[in-house]
């Protein structure tokens, strides 16, 4: 198999040139077949994910395990033959969840029912790490708080209980539609005098697993502790409040924020053979939340990125453009890695002839790939849609316009604006695991992960071959 692939690359390498902006050819088809054959028969993505999740574990920005993951990622890139590997320094938040996250509903006659909660990322702890106890009120929308009498909201704990919209087929859109209560709920509650917030976990699953995630405080509003509560407990609590409007809950957390620390984006570079000044970036984010192992979010994207480098070396593909393999830091609670990378890219373009032509991101899990999210002009979108026949044998059929990914989104501010592409796996089960203790290696399917890596690599190759250079 390997001899065949090297021979194929040698033969095609002579003629795979000067096809910018043109429709795909039979040579493209042969190269894609070689990529998928290598990924599915000799792939290393799954074992790399095992190492990342089991030997290193979760990788919250600012933690020692995130630093270990940076070292590991750089070592793998060097082992796979990147021309240059470096760390781009990034100052990241350092927040710890602590060891206590306890909440109980106080029922009649002193009976207490435990609630499954976890701190939202960036939350403060309860004062002195002691429990707070107050009447709980339930709302589905932040604006409801403004219509309530102050005597009801003052001193309360607010339960935000709006489920993700079940009728949206795109689960990412459903997640985005419910995000405001997690991101802004604590400040909205504090603005009307509340002392704490519980936010329904952002998942379609009905279970007792709390799903964490980032939240932010408004500068001019007092900070109150905020926790995610499982969907089962949120539904139960909302129903109990209807029966007993004076129901109280207690909340205790010892999470804490410290001074920012320096970590960084891990960058491996492979110099292009024809147009080395034109950069194609591809990556995923190395950091993860600290409940679970960050397997789907975004260990899958990390090993997809590393596997592209290995796949191209294995089949003897020599990129025309310079490829930058980037393992971004701090996507989960600040996106400082993506912002810093875009700032450095702007400086590069200002001070040299370098052009950032395209960027691709894998940050939607290790599930079976379905296609791509394209953030590009009409011309490039039309070009990518000519690839439908090429990808049809691999059940890749989606070429949709939309957001390509958080890490690469700041690159939209560059001029000329690069083409942005996100790998789009099947997302129906993604939020069952997302930001929860279930996001572990065992919940990633080996073949689906390998298919994602191959599809990611195929998109990189086709953009490298066919994307037109910027007009002077």
Domain boundaries, the chain: 2-95+259-466, 98-254
Topology of 2-95+259-466 in CATH? Aminopeptidase (3.40.630)
Residue 134 has which token pair? 């107050």
pLDDT of residue 24: 65
SS3 sequence of the chain: CHHHHHHHHHHHHHHCCCCCCCCCCHHHHHHHHHHHHHHHHHCCHHHHHHHHHHHHCCCCCCCHHHHHHHHHHHHHHHHCCCCEEEEEEEEEEEEECCCCEEEEEECHHHCEEEECEEECECCCCCHHHCCEEEEEEEECCCCHHHHCCHHHHCCCEEEECCCCCCCCCCHHHHHHHHHHHHHHHHHHHHHCCCCEEEEECCCCCCCCCCCCCECCCCCCCCCCCEEEECHHHHHHHHHHHHHCCCCEEEEEECCEEEEEEEEEEEEEEECCCCEEEEEEEEEEECCCCCCCCCHHHHHHHHHHHHHHHHHHHHHCCCCCEEEEEEEECCCCCCCHHHHHHHHHHHHHHHHCCCEEEEEEECCCCCCCEEEEEEECCHHHHHHHHCCHHHHHHHCCCEEEECCCCCCCHHHHHCCCCCEEEEEEECCCCHHHHCCCCCCCHHHCCHHHHHHHHHHHHHHHHHHHHHCCCCCC
- Catalytic residue status for 331: yes
pLDDT of residue 21: 61
Predicted confidence (pLDDT) per residue in 317-373, tens digit = 999 999 999 999 999 999 999 999 999 999 999 988 999 999 999 999 999 999 999
Percent of the chain with pLDDT over 70: 95
pLDDT range class, residue 109, cuts 50, 70, 90: confident
d(CA 421, CA 86): 24
pLDDT of residue 1: 47
Predicted confidence (pLDDT) per residue in 252-290, tens digit = 999 999 999 999 999 999 999 999 999 999 999 999 999
| Mean pLDDT calculated for residue range 163-190 | 97
| Mean pLDDT calculated for residue range 389-405 | 96
Predicted confidence (pLDDT) per residue in 201-228, tens digit = 999 999 999 999 999 999 999 999 999 9
pLDDT of residue 8: 52
Asked whether 326 and 265 are in contact (CB, 8 A), the reply is yes
Residue 38 has which token pair? 């290598």
d(CA 414, CA 427): 30
CA 328 to chain CA mean position, Å: 10
Return the CA Rg of the chain. 24
pLDDT range class, residue 23, cuts 50, 70, 90: low
Do 2-95+259-466 and 98-254 have matching folds? no
First-last CA distance in the chain: 43
The arrangement of secondary structure in 98-254, i.e. its CATH architecture, is 3-Layer(bba) Sandwich (3.50)
Predicted confidence (pLDDT) per residue in 298-324, tens digit = 999 999 999 999 999 999 999 999 999
Predicted confidence (pLDDT) per residue in 432-447, tens digit = 999 999 999 999 999 9
d(CA 28, CA 462): 7
pLDDT of residue 224: 98
Residue 363 has which token pair? 């940050």
pLDDT of residue 392: 97
Q: Which of 104, 331, 361, 448 is catalytic?
A: 331
């Amino acid at each position: 198999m390997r001899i065949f692939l090297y021979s194929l690359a040698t033969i095609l390498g002579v003629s795979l040139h000067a096809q910018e902006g043109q429709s795909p050819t039979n040579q493209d088809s042969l190269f894609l077949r070689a990529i998928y054959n290598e990924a599915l028969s000799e792939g290393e993505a799954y074992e790399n994910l095992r190492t990342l999740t089991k030997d290193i574990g979760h990788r919250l920005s600012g933690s020692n395990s995130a630093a270990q993951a940076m070292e590991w990622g750089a070592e793998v890139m060097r082992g796979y033959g990147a021309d240059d590997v470096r760390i781009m320094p990034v100052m990241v938040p350092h927040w710890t969840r602590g060891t206590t996250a306890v909440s109980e509903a106080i029922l009649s006659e002193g009976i207490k029912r435990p609630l499954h909660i976890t701190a939202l990322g960036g939350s403060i702890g309860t004062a002195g790490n002691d429990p707070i106890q107050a009447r709980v009120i339930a709302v589905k929308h932040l604006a409801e708080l403004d219509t309530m009498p102050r005597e009801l909201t003052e001193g309360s704990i607010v339960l935000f209980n709006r489920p993700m919209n079940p009728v949206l087929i795109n689960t990412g859109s459903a997640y985005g539609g419910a995000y405001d209560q997690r991101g802004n709920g604590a400040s909205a509650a504090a603005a009307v005098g509340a002392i704490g917030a519980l936010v329904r976990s952002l998942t379609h699953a009905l279970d007792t697993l709390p799903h964490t995630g980032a939240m932010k405080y408004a500068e001019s509003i007092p900070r109150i502790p905020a926790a995610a509560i499982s969907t089962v407990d949120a539904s139960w609590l909302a129903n109990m409040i209807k029966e007993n409007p004076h129901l109280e809950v207690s909340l205790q957390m010892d999470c804490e924020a410290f001074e920012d620390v320096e970590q960084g984006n891990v960058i491996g570079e492979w110099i292009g053979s024809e147009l080395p000044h034109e950069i194609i970036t591809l990556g995923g984010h190395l950091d993860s939340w600290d409940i679970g192992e960050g397997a789907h979010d975004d260990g899958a994207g990390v090993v997809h990125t590393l596997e592209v480098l290995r796949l191209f070396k294995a089949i003897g593909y020599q990129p025309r453009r310079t490829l930058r393999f980037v393992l971004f830091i701090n996507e989960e609670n600040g996106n400082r890695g993506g912002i810093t990378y875009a700032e450095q890219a702007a400086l590069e373009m200002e001070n040299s002839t370098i052009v950032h032509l395209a960027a691709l991101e894998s940050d939607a899990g290790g599930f079976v790939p379905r296609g791509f999210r394209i953030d590009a002009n009409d011309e490039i979108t039309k070009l990518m849609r000519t690839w439908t026949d090429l990808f049809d044998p691999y059940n890749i059929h989606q070429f949709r316009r939309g957001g390509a990914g958080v890490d690469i989104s700041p690159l939209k501010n560059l001029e000329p604006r690069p083409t942005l592409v996100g790998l789009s796996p099947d997302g129906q089960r993604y939020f069952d695991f997302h930001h929860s203790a279930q996001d572990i290696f065992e919940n990633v399917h080996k073949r689906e992960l390998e298919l994602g890596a191959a599809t990611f690599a195929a998109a990189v190759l086709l953009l490298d071959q066919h994307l037109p250079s910027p007009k002077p």
